Amino acid sequence: MSGLRRGLAVPCFGADPAGLAGLGTAAEQAGFDGFFLWDHLVFSDDGEGPPVLDPWLVLAVIATRTSRIRLGTMITPVPRRRPWQLAKETVTLDRLSGGRLILGAGIGSPAQGDFGIFHEPAGARVRAELLDEGLDVLAGLWSGERFSYAGRHFTVEPVRFSPPPVQRPRIPVWIGGVLPAAGPVRRAGRWDGMVPLARSADGELGRPSPADIAAVRDEVAAARGTAAGFDLVVWADLETEAGQADLAAPAYAEAGASWWLENARPRPGWQEAAAARVARGR
């Protein structure tokens, strides 16, 4: 598929963790390169969302049953996490998987459902500040070196976290963000990849255009001096017929994308659709 790595991203929704764990295990057997879980608490601003499972515990089970597939979250709202706790969880999963973890990170949504209900800061500006500081703290704690930090939101006295992650110099971080906002693109340029989303005319988030991907690539290259080694991830809908992705992928590969990530939207029957997609194979 035009050299793009193929992955799946599915909601961490449902009452049966074994179902999600089995889907991730089957994804490796079907030849996929990555399996990612959404990271939410409620997924509803009125507090009445679907049943939600913890993605980290499910990913830990998948890690023990697989050996090749990359694993991670898409997207962890770092602003609602204590970065030192997240550092321990991510390092543990990275070591459990033999160095296969990718951390997707963003400011999080829905703002009320994942933050405001629990009286966590819900404003976009403060969440962006918490994201940037949280990532800085994560990187310092992942280093395995003695580390301290003094920011607006987080303070860490001198400490060394051990063990470090398997992956060096750190666990890869992909930044999620909605185009055309410039902040997420600038932020992504400081890390290892980006999952850009575009908003359709009806307000639904989904796949950006190849031109959008090329624009992100060019901005990242200007900021870093090169886009080499930087992952650009196409957030696509779950393929419903064989070959759909193969038709669209070449233009994205030419624009600089490195991953094609099929996303199962949480609509009635999404679990069955995701299972059918995995059964059909990469």
Gyration radius (Cα) of the chain, Å: 18
Torsions phi, psi for 54 (to 5 deg): -80, 120
Measured between alpha carbons, how far is 114 from 154 in angstroms, rounded to an integer? 20
Domain containing 201: what range? 5-280
Q: Alpha helices of 44-195 — where are they, by DSSP H?
A: 55-65, 83-96, 111-114, 124-142, 182-188
What pTM value is reported for the model? 0.96
Q: Are 215 and 182 in contact (CB under 8 A)?
A: no
Instruction: Name 137's Cβ contacts closer than 8 Å, sequence gap at least 6.
Output: 83, 84, 87, 149, 151, 154, 156
Number of domains in the chain: 1
3-state secondary structure of 5: strand
Q: Alpha helices of 232-269 — where are they, by DSSP H?
A: 244-255
Torsions phi, psi for 220 (to 5 deg): -65, -45
3-state secondary structure of 81: coil
How confident is the model at residue 282, as a pLDDT? 86
Low-confidence spans in the chain with pLDDT less than 50: none
- E strand segments, the chain: 5-10, 34-37, 70-77, 101-106, 147-150, 155-159, 173-178, 193-199, 205-206, 231-237, 259-263
Measured between alpha carbons, how far is 265 from 225 in angstroms, rounded to an integer? 36
Q: What is the DSSP letter of 115?
A: T
Measured between alpha carbons, how far is 209 from 246 in angstroms, rounded to an integer? 15
Residue 217, domain CATH = 3.20.20.30
Tokens of 204: 């639904």
3-state secondary structure of 90: helix
Place of tokens 């029957």: 269
Measured between alpha carbons, how far is 227 from 224 in angstroms, rounded to an integer? 7
How confident is the model at residue 1, as a pLDDT? 55
How confident is the model at residue 2, as a pLDDT? 66
Measured between alpha carbons, how far is 142 from 178 in angstroms, rounded to an integer? 27
Distances (CA, A) of 91 to 7, 29, 38, 99, 174: 22, 25, 19, 9, 16
Q: CB 112: neighbour CB atoms within 10 A?
A: 15
Length of the chain: 282
Distances (CA, A) of 63 to 66, 84, 167, 253: 5, 22, 15, 29
